[in-house]
Structure 1
Amino acid sequence: MARSDGGSYFRRTSLFWMVLVSVYIILHTWTAFWPRDVPYGLLGPLGALAKYFVDYHYPALYNGWFLMFAIHVCEALFALKFCSDKGIDSTSTRLLWIAQTFLFGLTSLCLLIKYKPDGRPKRQ
């Protein structure tokens, strides 16, 4: 039985999640490392929330950035494992999954988890 070409399976996460996660990561990085340079007044309610965290919970904000980074690294490693488990053998495709999962986290990893290659038994 011929196997479908699951070795090059890749799906891009939705633009909505890409924008949302990118804005969050940029704002979190900016407030954690350069809090004096953030134009809080121009960011509306999001700026007020960010200013509150900088003023009253800065250690959690700063340490949370490193936790976020570690979580994204772990998710990227899980993406590598899932690529192997699901028979995705193309190096470039694996790198795409790893990079996308590192940048956008679970929004990418969930797409990879849902993938069921042909010819493999599906879990129930």
Structure 2
Amino acid sequence: MAKSDGSAFFKRTSLFWIVTVTLSVGYFTLIVFAPETIPYHYLGAFGTFCRYLVDNYADLMYKGWWATVAIHLYEAYVALKMCSKKGINDTTTRCLWFGQTFLFGFASLGLLLKYDPERPKQH
């Protein structure tokens, strides 16, 4: 439970974003590191497109995967900075924001950006 002063404010991102980002990044990871495990023929036009990317742009996909990791890491760093700016100084809560933002990106960071510790909560 969050402290009343807002120093431990944390809000979990929605289940929709958790599932969407997990499946998307998971699929991207498979395409980059284990493309032979994907049954492209069952995925129709999307599978054909993915197979084309694997066959013709594997190096670019690999670099894109690492760019995705770097972007998520940067977003997590921004989340820590926003925690400081918004007075969230509880270590556990800051770690939760960092981890959630690293895993789910802007779906998490957006919640933190919207948080206004100055505005009283409506009940």
| TM surpasses 0.5 | yes
Equivalent position of 1:59 in the other structure: 59
Describe the superposition over 1:37-89 as per-residue Cα deviations: whole angstroms up to 9, x where unpaired: 22223344443332121122212111100000100110110011000110001
Q: In 2, Cα distance between the equivalents of 1:6 and 1:76?
A: 20
Alignment of 1:1-124 (within 5 A): 4-118=4-118
Higher RCO (C-alpha under 8 Å, 6+ residues apart): 1
Give the AA of the match of 1:91: T
Deviating 4+ runs (over 6 angstroms): none
Number of aligned residue pairs? 117
Give the secondary structure class of the aligned counterpart of 2:7.
helix
Give the secondary structure class of the aligned counterpart of 1:8.
coil
Q: Give structure 2 stretches of 5+ with no counterpart.
A: none
Q: In 2, Cα distance between the equivalents of 1:57 and 1:74?
A: 25
Deviation at residue 94 of structure 1 after TM alignment: 0.6
Q: In 1, Cα distance between the equivalents of 2:33 and 2:11?
A: 33
Q: In 2, Cα distance between the equivalents of 1:39 and 1:71?
A: 29
Q: Give structure 1 stretches of 5+ with no counterpart.
A: none
Give the AA of the match of 1:23: L
Cα 1:60–1:30 shift into 2, 3 Å:
same
**TM-score when normalising by structure 1:** 0.86
Cα RMSD after superposing both structures: 1.7
Give the AA of the match of 1:111: L
**TM-score when normalising by structure 2:** 0.87
Give the secondary structure class of the aligned counterpart of 2:116.
coil
The percentage of counterpart residues that share the same residue type is 50
